[in-house]
Amino acid sequence: MIECCPYPPYEGNEKRGIMEEALETGRPILETRCITKQFPRVLANDEISILLNKGEILSILGENGAGKSTLMNILYGLYRPTSGEIILKGKEISFSSPRDAIRAGLGMVHQHFMLVETLTVTENIILGSEPSKGGVIDYQLAKKQVLEISELYGLHVDPDEKIENLSVGLQQRVEILKALYRHAEILILDEPTAVLTPQEVEELFRVIRALRDKGVSIIIITHKLEEVMAISERVYILRRGKLSGEGDIKDLTKEELANMMVGRDVVLRVDKKGNGKKKEAVFFIEDLSVLKKGGNALLDSVKLDVSPGEIVGIAGVDGNGQSELSQAVMGLVKIDKGSIRLNGKEISTLSTRERIDEGISFVPSDRQRDGLVLEMSISDNIIIGRHDRKPFVRSAGRINHREIRKYAEKLAVDFDIRTPSVSVSAASLSGGNQQKVILAREFSRSPVFLLLNQPTRGLDVGAIEYIHSRIMEMKQKGAAILLVSLELEEIFALSDRILVIYEGQIVRELKTNETTDYEVGLYMTGGRKKGSLNDGK
């Protein structure tokens, strides 16, 4: 058996002094020693040793699939490590469930909140550890305790408000309070900024610093470099299940971090050269409205146009009408008013099938639900939608498997889909490769108009970079592209113009090079009411 050294050396790192130093000062509160987690097919964690000091903000940085979540789930008692030990306050521990972890003073705020929408803040916070008198919940006491904690840490939120009436930022705050209520000394935040606007992120950072000052130790799991630089004091970088680096933030640059995370130099900016002068728009939406059953507008008189070779970004907080917009364009939802035109032809009355034939390609936001038939093969997924066209079908509706295979194999090479064979099911692919299958299908149709809804959602930096370059290629080829994204960074990296959507309305049009993410963030949150659209032009 190979002995795992307490602090394994990793390539190119000479800053191991930190750990020894920390040990000497006696500050470490949590430590993992050589944690290894072997899943049936992947080694998710390979001898990972990290150390968390009391009252510090530590980041764990890594791409998706680097093993961050596995490590945190081990700490939180959701998984058991294959080997290795966890030391909490100098004692070796072993959690068999999150309950143990909570009892030991660990709290976790998941990326997807675990809140009951119809209950109040107080009810959510005490859920599972209710203060009670003889089996009856003591709400007065509970409310008092919640107020005390929020006072102590400066996390203000109305204890009687229902969760469904709170903004995402406040919901997250409730999650943090939930952990603190259970006396968490160590708080693990999983991708805490994923759903927040820039303003909410700043507020969160303020809260995190306040918590640190009160002695709470914080671990932030993230794949965003900016966040690491902005908030944390120390960082560990994971790559493919291994620790690929660590250090003090003040000694590191963004480029160094990116390098350790991806293992090569990343181009963080896409080359955004347009093809010169703007052409006449080919795709128009006018006065488009979609109403909810009750009568509320999900989309309210949306108006936009896209020119060939242009990328128009739709920025907005999730749930402000983005999905209705793409469904309306694809004919998947009934529109109540308005027109959609492509190449001068009204398409809002056509079926989905006919719209595809008119030259619309669509990359849906939920690739597993709307983009792929996971149980079917990669090749079937590549030709679906054209499965009844020549050459994929012979006369009398017989499928030509040979042609399909040939075509799919060619596209698998063109789009760098990594798979042993195109006849395996799409479910067996990683997220990035699944997205490439969708891209292969949609881009190979040579669309006139391309609708992208969160094309890189949940993907790692490498895949994002690749997909962005393919999108730019489609732009060069002259496709008119409408990009819906929740990632402001993506909107800024790709689009020529930015439209901000808020509560179903396009509230602002901005030129990418004349605005800032801060300004866009303001409009996204309804910070400024609908101004004159012409201001942005």
Instruction: List residues near another protein by CB under 8 A.
Output: 38, 40, 80, 82-83, 330, 332, 351-356, 362, 364, 369-376, 380, 384-385, 387-388, 393, 397-399, 401
Gap between the Cα atoms of 467 and 255, Å rounded:
21
Question: Least separation, in Å, of the C-beta of 92 and another protein?
Answer: 14
User: Phi, psi at residue 496, to the nearest 5°?
Assistant: -90, -35
Nearer to another protein, 209 or 353 (CB): 353
Nearer to another protein, 171 or 381 (CB): 381
Residue 207 is which amino acid? V
Pair of tokens at residue 73: 């789930």
Gap between the Cα atoms of 526 and 93, Å rounded:
47
Nearer to another protein, 279 or 390 (CB): 390
Supply the DSSP string of 153-204, one letter for each residue: HT----TTSBGGGS-HHHHHHHHHHHHHHTT-SEEEEESTTTT--HHHHHHH
Nearer to another protein, 5 or 384 (CB): 384
Question: Least separation, in Å, of the C-beta of 423 and another protein?
Answer: 12
Nearest CA to 485 out of 499, 475, 472, 473 is that of 499
Contacts of 126 (CB under 8 A, 6+ apart): 137, 142, 145, 146, 181
Gap between the Cα atoms of 65 and 205, Å rounded:
25
Nearer to another protein, 151 or 375 (CB): 375
Nearer to another protein, 445 or 530 (CB): 445
Gap between the Cα atoms of 202 and 231, Å rounded:
10
Question: Least separation, in Å, of the C-beta of 364 and another protein?
Answer: 6
Nearest CA to 334 out of 376, 298, 308 is that of 298
Instruction: Give the E-state strand segments of 463-504 in sequence order.
Output: 480-485, 497-502
Residue 339: count of CB within 10 angstroms of its CB: 14
Nearer to another protein, 395 or 534 (CB): 395
Residue 52 is which amino acid? L
Nearer to another protein, 212 or 436 (CB): 436
Pair of tokens at residue 466: 């690749």
Alpha helices in 294-340 (DSSP H): 322-330
Nearer to another protein, 153 or 362 (CB): 362
Pair of tokens at residue 18: 């930190």
